[in-house]
Amino acid sequence: MSTVPQNSKMKPARLTIRDLSARKVSAGAAPMVWLTAYSAPTARAMDPHVDVILVGDSLGMTVYGMDSTLTVTLDMMIAHGQAVVRASENACVIVDMPFGSYQASPVDAYKSAARVMAETGCAAVKMEGGAEMAETIRFLLERGIPVVGHVGLTPQSVNRFGGYRAQGRTTVEAKKIMADAKAVADAGAFAVVIEKTLEPLARAITAALPVPTIGIGASPACDGQVLVVDDVIGVFDLFKPKFVKRYAEVGAAMRKAVAAYAAEVRAGTFPTLEHCFTDSPKKPVSKKAAKKPSRK
């Protein structure tokens, strides 16, 4: 049996790493749209609209209420990656490598990334870091695992940075970030996320790299943009970073809906008979029908 798909009736193909790696704005491409998702319903809602769904380790904060990404585990990333891959069919899905799963050695990184790829079905992994990660990126790529780099503010290094302030404010810092971006691209990263740097630096990196840059708090000149979905739809509304634009107030809508539900249950106005099963069964339910999953 051939392992090459031959059947034209197969599901529409997802965007591939090859499609994405060619998308430089300087070569005439439209800016790419990346957005994080951690769950099936969110992935399903964004799938027709985005090029890449990133299962970011930001889920530590947005989903699990942790105060940094340092306590996120490989098993968490795999579980959320599976949900997102299952619920999408067009976007390319990329999963973040969590802290401690890839930094120690290329072999460690390969073992962790291979689990992520095999258990989720995602197309690539993202890892934070600059020149120090170049050898690992090359090692993974040579063994069939595409990698996205991530430079600038790398949240897994929050303890080294001493906070989440914008990076590249001094010439030394800016030169290092530029060198890091070039090192990960030279090592074979097919795209590089630039997070929270001064704008001219992100612009210069975008001009210098042959692969697309994806900005978050970086520059409109980047080849694509990424944000955390909870910020975009206003679910995470404890604070709003300067680089976030909110396109909806889902957090407020959620509080309003829950308050209305609670009030109706307490007042005895929900449920009504409309929400109850009042017909007496006409036929005995067959074993087959009883097995079907249903939310009704």
Q: Can residue 216 be called a binding residue for ligand KIV (CB under 6 A)?
A: yes
Q: Is 89 designated active site? A: no
Q: Can residue 193 be called a binding residue for ligand KIV (CB under 6 A)?
A: yes
Residue closer to ligand KIV, measured from CB, 36 or 112: 36
Q: Can residue 58 be called a binding residue for ligand KIV (CB under 6 A)?
A: yes
Residue closer to ligand KIV, measured from CB, 21 or 68: 68
Q: Can residue 226 be called a binding residue for ligand KIV (CB under 6 A)?
A: yes
What's the burial of 37, exposed, middle or buried (CB within 10 Å: 0-12/13-18/19+)?
buried
Smallest gap from residue 1 Cβ to ligand KIV (A): 39
Residue closer to ligand KIV, measured from CB, 117 or 153: 153
Alpha-carbon radius of gyration of the chain: 22
Q: Can residue 57 be called a binding residue for ligand KIV (CB under 6 A)?
A: yes
Residue of 195, 199, 249, 274 with catalytic role: 195
Q: Which residue is nearest to ligand KIV (CB)?
A: 56
Q: Residue 214 to residues 37, 40, 126, 159, 265: CA-CA distances in angstroms?
A: 16, 24, 12, 24, 47
Backbone angles phi, psi at 134, to 5 degrees: -60, -45
Count residues near ligand KIV (CB under 6 A).
11
What's the burial of 73, exposed, middle or buried (CB within 10 Å: 0-12/13-18/19+)?
middle
Name 108's Cβ contacts closer than 8 Å, sequence gap at least 6.
101, 102
The answer to whether 22 and 66 have CB atoms below 8 angstroms apart is: no
Q: Can residue 96 be called a binding residue for ligand KIV (CB under 6 A)?
A: yes
Of 139, 48, 150, 143, nearest in space to 98 by CA: 150
State the catalytic residues. Answer: 195
Binding region for ligand KIV (CB under 6 A)? 36, 54, 56-58, 96, 193, 195, 216, 226, 228
